[in-house]
Chains A and B, each alone.
Chain A
Amino acid sequence: ELKVEQNPLFLSMQEGKNYTIYCNYSTTSDRLYWYRQDPGKSLESLFVLLSNGAVKQEGRLMASLDTKARLSTLHITAAVHDLSATYFCAGTPPSSGSARQLTFGSGTQLTVLP
């Protein structure tokens, strides 16, 4: 059974600062996804990481995947208030087959302070 752990669960940071959110998973997951969720809203896809060493960047966010360490990171550069949201990572269990059901981490609630 795939387990996905994120840390920290809560993160307050000042505008302009950098920080990293960590996502560890317990068994093989050859795909790793990052989503953003604003309060009361649905999930917005940020990144799909397909292979070991994959790195993707969009604006101030950069995600990476190390399948050997079973670790993905989401790095925030020079945070701005608009990045305040909850960020989820998710993997697909080996047993998920083609349907690729997602197993989510607990989420990291990010608050960017002025």
Chain B
Amino acid sequence: DAMVIQNPRYQVTQFGKPVTLSCSQTLNHNVMYWYQQKSSQAPKLLFHYYDKDFNNEADTPDNFQSRRPNTSFCFLDIRSPGLGDAAMYLCATSRLGSGGRQPQHFGDGTRLSIL
């Protein structure tokens, strides 16, 4: 089945040690999103790619970066994770041109813990 796959499901890193989360999709969607969801909170958009065009949310910390080397893959890099960055990170995709008629498709998420 076409889907959005995130790896790893669980990631533990040390305070200040860079970490990369990955997302791949077989839906051939041209928009990919990264959301951060802290415990018992709503998902919060960090940034999105529209094809290769990167769009950062105004309040996303500089500590968070993203790369999209091709249509299928997108990476979230956290350069110096702090304790406040412990969260579930969700990747989602959508197809431009659907006029919002189709929902975003979410991966299973990566739960990041900081030691």
Residues of chain A having any CB pair with chain B under 8 Å: 30-31, 33, 35, 40-45, 48, 50, 88, 92, 98-107, 109
Q: Give Cα A105 to B43, complex, Å.
A: 9
A residues in contact with B101, CB < 8 Å: 31, 48, 50
- Which of A30, A42, A103, A105 counts the most B-chain CB atoms under 10 A from its CB? A42
Chain A residues in 8 Å Cβ range of B69 = none
Residue B81 at the A interface, CB < 8 A? no
* B interface residues, tally (CB under 8 Å): 28
A to B contact number (C-beta, < 8 Å): 64
For the complex formed, measure the closest distance between the CB of A110 and the CB atoms of chain B, giving whole angstroms.
14
Q: Shortest distance in angstroms between A32's beta carbon and chain B's nearest beta carbon?
A: 10
Bound-complex Cα distance A48 to B100 (A): 8
How distant is the Cα of A107 from the Cα of B43 in the complex, in angstroms? 10
Q: Which of B66-115 contact A (CB under 8 A)?
A: 90, 92, 94, 96-97, 100-109, 111
- A6 vs B48: C-alpha distance when bound (angstroms): 25
Q: Cα distance A45–B100 when bound, in Å? A: 13
| Nearest-neighbor residue (CB-CB) of A86 within chain B | B40
| CB-defined contacts of A45 to chain B, threshold 8 Å | 103-105
Chain B residues in contact with chain A, CB under 8 A?
31, 33, 40-45, 48, 50, 55, 57, 90, 92, 94, 96-97, 100-109, 111
Q: Contact between B102 and A48 (Cβ–Cβ < 8 Å)?
A: yes
Q: Is the CB of A43 within 8 A of B106?
A: yes
Q: A41-B108, A48-B101, A99-B55 known; A106 and B41 CB under 8 Å?
A: yes
